[in-house]
Structure 1
Amino acid sequence: MKGIRVGSSEAVVRQRVAKALQANADTVADRWVELQMAQDELRTGIGERELREEADTLIAALVAGLDTELPVSQVVNTHGELRRAVIDLSLRRARGGATPTATSLAVLLLKEAVLEAVQSATDESAELFAAALLVNRLLDAAGALSFDTYVEGREEIIRRQSRQLLELSTPVVRLWRHVLAVPLIGTLDTARTQIVMENLLQAIQEHEAQVAIIDITGVPTVDTAVAQHLMQTVNAVRLMGADCVISGIRPPIAQTIAQLGIDLSKILTRASLADALSEAIKLTSDTAHQGAVRR
Structure 2
Amino acid sequence: MSSESIQLLFDTIIKNEKSIIQGWLENLKSIGKETKKVLSASELEKQAKDFFDLFVVACRSKNFDIHSSVWQDTREFLITLSKNWAAVGVSSGQAARFIFSLKQSVFEIIAKEQLKAELHNNVVWDANILIDELGLFVIEMYQKSREDIIKRQQQELLELSTPVVKIWNGILILPLIGTLDSARTQIVLENLLQSIVDTESSIAIIDITGVPTVDTLVAQHLLKTVSAARLMGTQCVISGIRPQIAQTMVHLGVTFSDVVTKATLADALFYAFNAVGFAVQKKS
What is the TM-score normalised by the length of structure 1?
Answer: 0.81
Contact 2:205 2:239 in 1 (8 A): yes
Contact 1:77 1:83 in 2 (8 A): no
The answer on 1:259 being equivalent to 2:251 is yes
The answer on 1:10 being equivalent to 2:2 is no
Contact 2:9 2:127 in 1 (8 A): no
Spell out, residue by residue over 1:226-267, the C-alpha distance to the aligned partner (whole angstroms, 9 max, x if none).
Answer: 111110111121222222111112232223222322231111
Alpha-carbon distance in structure 2 between the residues aligned to 1:8 and 1:25 = 21
Alpha-carbon distance in structure 1 between the residues aligned to 2:97 and 2:218 = 47
1:239 counterpart residue number: 231
The answer on 1:63 being equivalent to 2:56 is yes
Post-superposition offset of 1:81? 1.0
- After TM superposition, the runs of 4+ consecutive aligned structure 1 residues lying more than 6 A away are none
Contact 2:54 2:74 in 1 (8 A): yes
> AA paired with 1:53?
K
Q: Which of 127, 137, 142 is residue 134 of structure 2 equivalent to?
A: 142
Contact 2:238 2:260 in 1 (8 A): yes
Q: Compared with structure 1, are the counterparts of its residues 196 and 93 closer, same or farther at alpha carbon in structure 2 (3 Å cutoff)?
A: same
Q: Which of 42, 45, 56 is residue 49 of structure 1 equivalent to?
A: 42
> AA paired with 1:17?
I
Spell out, residue by residue over 1:138-195, the C-alpha distance to the aligned partner (whole angstroms, 9 max, x if none).
Answer: 2111111112222222222222222222222221111111221111112212222122
Q: Which of 209, 220, 238 is residue 217 of structure 1 equivalent to?
A: 209
Post-superposition offset of 1:24? 4.9
What is the TM-score normalised by the length of structure 2?
Answer: 0.83
Q: Which of 55, 78, 94 is residue 86 of structure 2 equivalent to?
A: 94
Return 5+ residue gaps in structure 1 as ranges.
1-6, 287-295
Spell out, residue by residue over 1:113-145, the C-alpha distance to the aligned partner (whole angstroms, 9 max, x if none).
Answer: 3445666xx644347666544432221111111
Q: What fraction of aligned residue pairs are identical, expressed as a percent?
A: 39
Q: How many residues align?
A: 273
Post-superposition offset of 1:282? 3.2
Superposition RMSD on alpha carbons, in Å?
A: 2.7
Q: Compared with structure 1, are the counterparts of its residues 276 and 60 closer, same or farther at alpha carbon in structure 2 (3 Å cutoff)?
A: same
Q: Which of 16, 23, 37 is residue 20 of structure 1 equivalent to?
A: 16
Alpha-carbon distance in structure 1 between the residues aligned to 2:150 and 2:235 = 35
Contact 1:217 1:248 in 2 (8 A): yes
Return 5+ residue gaps in structure 2 as ranges.
279-284
Give SS of 1:269's match.
strand
Alpha-carbon distance in structure 2 between the residues aligned to 1:180 and 1:162 = 25
Contact 2:23 2:105 in 1 (8 A): yes
